[in-house]
């Protein structure tokens, strides 16, 4: 990606700990205070490879972000174990429409690992290719966890090695060269799969990183640990790092930095974000994205997937997204939309502690080493690679580029059961939205604590509903997320009543209508979330100034 000044920019272990995924926008800091959801990297590159995927190849246009919990056949997943094959559906669609195919491990992958380098030799169908990467070890005795640094540029390598983690400097251009025509792509990947392959450079780079991990696995683990791998990259290499983490489940920690269009930011949102790199520009600047993406550069609404689902592909593994709100071209607002939506999958899997998003930075220099990111970087390294930390994920969204998730989704986050279930044979009964969700902006004041969720004050009667609230508070204000749950019968509409403490006033409401801003307040459903199937839930929220004590919601159904 080129800035306006012309410079270069740009498997099945599901964790079952309950956590709170943060969906607060603005200058937000939300740290869950629940037990750690320590997701280990899976032992295989693609755990869902045996899942059948039947993609008909057509989909209705949708201006909202696609429902990541909805299977291609239109049913929604209901258990955490369902995610394995749902992820595979997303993967196949991402390959088909966005990135191009990332082939499975070739017939032969060999190589060496030393204290200073890694060599990779690949053979497939009589074709051979080789490439290498340099290694820098931290002080101490190995074997060491390692972070693949795409293009040598990403999160602060000094902090990484200082934490006791090795760095692997990976030249992706040796695997997929920039500056080539789409019908004459060059590099080790295209030597094996052909210069006219429809696979874009990002998927090719992801393939190359996977082959590095193959060699580390085969090396015996005396120097580097294949079970503790991370990846990072900035700008165009941030796009690559994001793809590498999404497409290889052996990556325990993915850390894209300022990835811009074609990276973390939601495609649908980019078109409406002033100054961001258009999709047509990101597609044509370099063959980063797959050839098939050309059909969607002017109409991302027809895409059956979006980048929040690439975020979701990484769940429940560690993800630390770093973005720069000071450079419009980098589409950080659309990045926050994607991260907030993807975080809902982390939340449903009980792994909300495992995602961190940070765009609240003071300095706008592209791909700079930033003091704001040093502590969360250390915490993520300790948690996911060194297995010595338990810090919860944090959302710090800059008020300069804060997205509004309610504007971009018409789906709710399900409560997934822990055990396996039989896929439903009929579509969900929840009434789809018929009007545009509210476009009010969520809070911009950073919460510092997450008090426990208050349980419903009364069990829901048959045919009735119950309400519970979770709070994120800070000095002088709070955000309340209210979950409305139907009883033994479906409801067609609901009203939640609560009384705010004296001196407390509501400043913002989303996904509900409110009768007042203070005192006794009634919240009623809007057009798209009134119908709730028996035992299912929906959520609304509000921001208020004042204190959050003794807020006990009650629910009535109609």
Cα–Cα distance between 105 and 111 in angstroms, integer? 14
Whole-number Å distance between alpha carbons of 258 and 282: 14
Interior angle at CA 521, CA 519 and CA 523, nearest 5? 160
Cα–Cα separations (whole angstroms), residue 499 to 97, 457, 471: 49, 13, 15
Q: Which residues contact 201 (CB under 8 A, 6 or more apart)?
A: 172, 176, 177, 178, 185, 240, 286, 287, 288
Task: Please say whether the beta carbons of 165 and 381 come within 8 A.
Answer: yes
- Can you tell me the distance from the alpha carbon of 464 to that of 156, in angstroms, rounded to the nearest whole number? 53
Determine the Cα–Cα distance for residues 135 and 127; give it in Å rounded to an integer: 27
The DSSP output letter for 265 is: S
Name the region of 204 (left: φ>0; alpha: ψ -120 to 50; beta: rest): alpha
3-class secondary structure per residue, 226-246: EEEEEEEEECHHHHHHHHHHH
Shortest CA distance to 392 belongs to which of 325, 334, 346? 346
Structure tokens at 503: 């001196």
Distance CA 6, CA 4 (A): 5
Contacts of 50 (CB under 8 A, 6+ apart): none
Active site amino acids:
235, 366
Q: Round to whole Å and give the CA distance between 226 and 219.
A: 9
Is residue 509 within 8 Å of 472, Cβ to Cβ?
Answer: no
Q: Where are the alpha helices (DSSP H) in 24-96?
A: 83-94
């Amino acid at each position: 990606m080129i800035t306006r000044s012309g410079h270069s920019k740009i498997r099945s272990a599901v964790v079952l700990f309950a956590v709170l995924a943060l969906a607060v926008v603005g200058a937000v800091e939300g740290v869950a205070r629940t037990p750690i959801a320590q997701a280990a990297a899976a032992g295989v590159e693609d755990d869902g490879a045996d899942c059948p995927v039947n993609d008909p190849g057509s989909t209705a246009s949708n201006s909202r972000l696609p429902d990541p919990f909805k299977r291609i056949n239109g049913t929604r997943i209901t258990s955490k174990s369902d995610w394995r094959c749902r992820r595979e559906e997303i993967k196949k669609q991402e390959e088909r429409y966005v990135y191009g195919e990332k082939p499975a491990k070739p017939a032969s992958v060999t190589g060496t690992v030393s204290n200073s380098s890694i060599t990779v030799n690949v053979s497939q169908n009589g074709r051979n290719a080789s490439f290498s990467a340099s290694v820098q070890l931290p002080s101490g005795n190995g074997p060491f966890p390692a972070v693949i640094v795409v293009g040598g540029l990403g999160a602060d390598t000094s902090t990484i090695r200082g934490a006791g983690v090795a760095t692997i400097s990976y030249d992706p251009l040796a695997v997929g060269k920039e500056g080539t025509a789409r019908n004459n792509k060059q590099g080790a990947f295209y030597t094996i799969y052909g210069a006219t392959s429809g696979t874009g450079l990002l998927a090719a780079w992801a393939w190359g990183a996977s082959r590095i991990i193959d060699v580390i696995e085969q090396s015996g683990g005396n120097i580097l640990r294949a079970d503790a791998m991370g990846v990072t990259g900035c700008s165009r290499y941030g796009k690559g790092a994001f793809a590498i983490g999404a497409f290889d489940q052996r990556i325990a920690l993915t850390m894209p930095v300022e990835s811009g269009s074609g990276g973390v930011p939601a495609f649908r949102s980019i078109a409406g974000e002033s100054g961001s790199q258009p999709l047509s520009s990101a597609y044509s600047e370099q063959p980063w994205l797959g050839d098939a993406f050309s059909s969607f550069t002017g109409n991302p609404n027809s895409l059956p997937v979006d980048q929040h689902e690439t975020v979701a592909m990484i769940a429940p593994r560690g993800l630390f997204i770093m973005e720069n709100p000071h450079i419009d071209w980098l589409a950080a607002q659309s990045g926050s939309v994607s991260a907030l939506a993807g975080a809902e999958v982390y939340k449903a899997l009980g792994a909300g502690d495992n995602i961190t998003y940070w765009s609240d930075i003071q300095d706008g220099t592209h791909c700079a080493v930033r003091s704001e990111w040093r502590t969360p970087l250390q915490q993520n390294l300790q948690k996911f690679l060194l297995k010595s930390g338990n810090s919860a994920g944090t959302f710090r969204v800059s008020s300069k580029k804060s997205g509004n998730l309610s504007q971009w989704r018409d789906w709710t986050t399900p409560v997934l059961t822990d055990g396996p279930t039989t896929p439903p044979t009929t579509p969900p009964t929840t009434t789809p939205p018929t009007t545009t969700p509210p476009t009010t902006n969520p809070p911009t004041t950073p919460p510092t604590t997450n008090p426990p969720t208050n349980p419903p004050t009364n069990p829901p009667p048959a045919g009735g509903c119950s309400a519970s609230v979770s709070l994120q508070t800070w000095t002088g204000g709070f955000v309340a997320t209210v979950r409305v749950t139907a009883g033994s019968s479906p409801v067609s509409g609901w009203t939640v009543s609560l009384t705010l403490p004296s001196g407390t006033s509501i400043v913002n409401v989303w996904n509900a209508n409110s009768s007042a801003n203070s005192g006794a307040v009634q919240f009623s459903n809007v057009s798209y979330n009134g119908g709730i199937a028996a035992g299912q839930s929906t959520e609304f929220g509000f921001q208020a100034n004042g204190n959050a004590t003794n807020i006990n919601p009650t629910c009535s159904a109609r």
